[in-house]
Amino acid sequence: MVDLRAKPYYLSDEDIAWVEKTIAGMTDEEKVGQLFFDNQGAVSDEVLKGLVDRYHIGGYRYNGIKSDRVQHNVRVLQTASAIPLFIACNTESGGNGTGTDGTYLGTGIKVAATNNAQYAYDLGHMSNEEGAAMGNNMAFAPVCDIHYNWENTEIVQRAFGNDVRRVTDMSLAYMKGVHDIPGYASVAKHFPGNGQDCRDAHMSTNINMFGREQWMATYGKVYKALIDAGVDGIMGGHIMLPNYMREIKPGITDDEMLPATLCPEILTGLLRDELGFNGVVISDATHMVGMTNRMRHADMIPAAINAGCDMYLFFNDPDEDYGIMLDSYRTGKISEARMTEALTRILGLKAHMGLHKKVKEEIVPTAETLAATLGRQEYKDTAAAIARDAITLVKYKDKGVLPITPEKYPRIMLVNIKGSENSMSMLTKFAFGGGDAKSPAELLAERLRARGFEAFVYESPVDKAQRLAAEGKQVGFLDIYHAGKAAIKDFTASQDLVITVFNVANGRPNFGTSKGGGEIPWYVHDMPTIGVSVNAPTMLVDAPTLRTYINAYDSRPYTLDALVDKLMTGPEAFTGIDPIDSFCGFWDTHL
């Protein structure tokens, strides 16, 4: 039974009457359509109108196109829809999570490194003020996962770290920032909690190994705090809870284990019955392998609704998925009671947001409102302040290395270290930065030269070989293999300081050579060396020899400006904390 007078709805009798009357007047096709969220990217007005006219969708999510196009498309959708739509966005790190020209403020880990929950509030509020100006009304955030495993790359930059209290406080602050925007909803993710498995649920199974007691003391504490504070929605993750399931369902076999999005014991038993969540449950993207690898597609769609998902995130194929859902409802695989429950929650939240009382043409703000909101100076100032307060001096063994000055280190060699590319690393760079035409090492070198240093970027033997080959010159294997070898005295005579810049968006660094050269910092006892990560914060595990290591979290201009200021001021200038274990649990990374 859905209580529309309780949190997070707080509906009046009039609002409840609208919900009930609307459900009573809906066709089967309209009921089924409300269960779907979709995301088509940059498509024509005709395609958007078709989604509403043919499939009667309940929600749409935007990211990856410019803000004026987002606003236009939302206006098309809302004007065409009989029932107002949820328009969601991934504003995890800024307004750029809905429009590509939105303001990036900082990833979850960067905000956590400031140890200042006010910035989490700012992230929630400012990001979604931009989102609201584009026509969005729902944030798929905060990311309230807990990063326990250094090898987990899926949420390491997106979550607020590994401390339960900090994750709770910052998740609450983010949500408060969202809720201070009238008519805007917050959907926390990814229940029951990511951060333990080294695998990515987009491409594999994902597991949370905590049993009931440990889960309740960690992830459960975070979600309970959000539920008590009135979180509107929770996104179900494609994450299994095998030890929890063995406790509550003795005798369950491994083959019977299911991710939360397909498991009634997790979404209904744990989330609703035990934690008392009364709001809307939305599945994570349903094309992810963490969900699709458990059963036939035709069985998966009704199973997600019956497990407790009120909304199904994204069509794989609109005709097929809509047809499966409609057939499942008409044949009783999805019962009338379950359909009514889901619709009551969906429409109840839309009523709570005031969507049912708005004139269609007024749901989306004007172009003038967008122009006045996008990229406000206060947003840019906050982004710079977050960068200033977040940059973290994780390891500092050679106490005399900092500060750096042109007199002390006239010649600085910068080494650009990249990671191996895959689809998720490219998406991460697109979302969080790092896709500049110039490498972060080159951008940092420019800033150092402006401050009086002679700074240059190292050309690796592999890069040199590729350049020579492109010029039509022959390069042999041994030429590359031995190219980095040289007398130590010659190497140290060529520069006074080395800064190794890690630009690894997802996974592990890709060192080009293992014999000499400048890429692997083997020379730390012969040459002052500083390691800086401008992306993933776990680089010490592959470069444990570094005696000075800094996490800057991204390579935005204001971040690099702040980094140079701190390098030239000294260790006391670094005020950021380490929100995870950047030593990655290895004793030798402390050496």
Tens of pLDDT, residue by residue over 422-436, are: 655 565 555 544 455
Work out whether strand 392-396 and strand 548-551 pair parallel, antiparallel, or are unpaired. antiparallel
pLDDT digits (tens, 9 = 90+) for 340-364: 999 999 999 999 999 999 998 889 9
Return d(Cα 582, Cα 544) in angstroms, integer.
11
**Pick the residue with more confidence: 330 or 39?**
330
- In contact, 150 and 580? CB cutoff 8 Å: yes
Which sign does the torsion angle of CA 465, 468, 469, 474 carry? negative
Which sign does the torsion angle of CA 282, 285, 287, 292 carry? negative
CATH number, domain of 90, equals 3.20.20.300
**Band of the pLDDT at 492, cuts 50, 70, 90?**
confident
438 in the same domain as 290: no
408 in the same domain as 303: no
349 in the same domain as 297: yes
154 in the same domain as 20: yes
398 in the same domain as 356: no
500 part of a folded domain:
yes
381 part of a folded domain:
no
Query: Average pLDDT for residues 450-465, to the nearest whole number?
Result: 87
* Count of helices and strands (H, E) across the chain: 24, 14
422 in the same domain as 321: no
Query: Average pLDDT for residues 193-197, to the nearest whole number?
Result: 95
Spell out the residues 6+ positions from residue 579 whose beta carbon is closer than 8 angstroms to its own.
109, 112, 113, 115, 160, 161, 162, 163, 166
**Pick the residue with more confidence: 484 or 586?**
586
Phi-psi region of 308 (alpha: psi -120 to 50; beta: other; left: phi over 0): left
118 part of a folded domain:
no
335 in the same domain as 403: no
110 part of a folded domain:
no
Question: For position 515, what pLDDT does the model report?
Answer: 63
Query: Average pLDDT for residues 540-565, to the nearest whole number?
Result: 97
Question: For position 229, what pLDDT does the model report?
Answer: 98
Catalytic positions, written as ranges: 284
Query: Average pLDDT for residues 25-54, to the nearest whole number?
Result: 92
- In contact, 188 and 175? CB cutoff 8 Å: yes
Does residue 371 register a pLDDT over 70?
yes
Least confident of 86-90, 186-190, 522-526: 522-526
408 in the same domain as 365: no
158 part of a folded domain:
yes
The percent of residues in the chain predicted with pLDDT above 70, rounded, is 94
Residue where a domain stops, chosen among 319, 339, 369 = 369
How many domains is the chain built from?
2
Does residue 315 register a pLDDT over 80?
yes
Question: For position 434, what pLDDT does the model report?
Answer: 46
Q: What burial letters (b/e) apply to 24-58, b meaning 16+ CB within 10 Å?
A: eebeeebbbbbbbbbebeeeeeeebeebbeebbbb
Task: Kindly list the strands in the beta sheet with 411-418, ordered across the sheet, starting from the edge strand earlier in the chain.
Answer: 392-396, 548-551, 529-533, 497-503, 411-418, 454-457
93 in the same domain as 182: yes
pLDDT digits (tens, 9 = 90+) for 221-259: 999 999 999 999 999 999 999 999 999 999 999 999 999
236 part of a folded domain:
yes
285 in the same domain as 237: yes
CATH number, domain of 464, equals 3.40.50
pLDDT digits (tens, 9 = 90+) for 292-301: 898 999 999 9
Residue where a domain stops, chosen among 335, 369, 403 = 369
Query: Average pLDDT for residues 197-208, to the nearest whole number?
Result: 90
What is the pTM for the complete model shown?
0.95
463 part of a folded domain:
yes
Q: Over the chain, what is the mean pLDDT?
A: 93
497 part of a folded domain:
yes
Does residue 485 register a pLDDT over 50?
yes
417 in the same domain as 273: no
Residue ranges making up the domain that contains 507 = 391-590
400 in the same domain as 361: no
Question: For position 40, what pLDDT does the model report?
Answer: 79
Does residue 479 register a pLDDT over 70?
no
Residue where a domain stops, chosen among 369, 404, 430 = 369
Return d(Cα 141, Cα 337) in angstroms, integer.
29
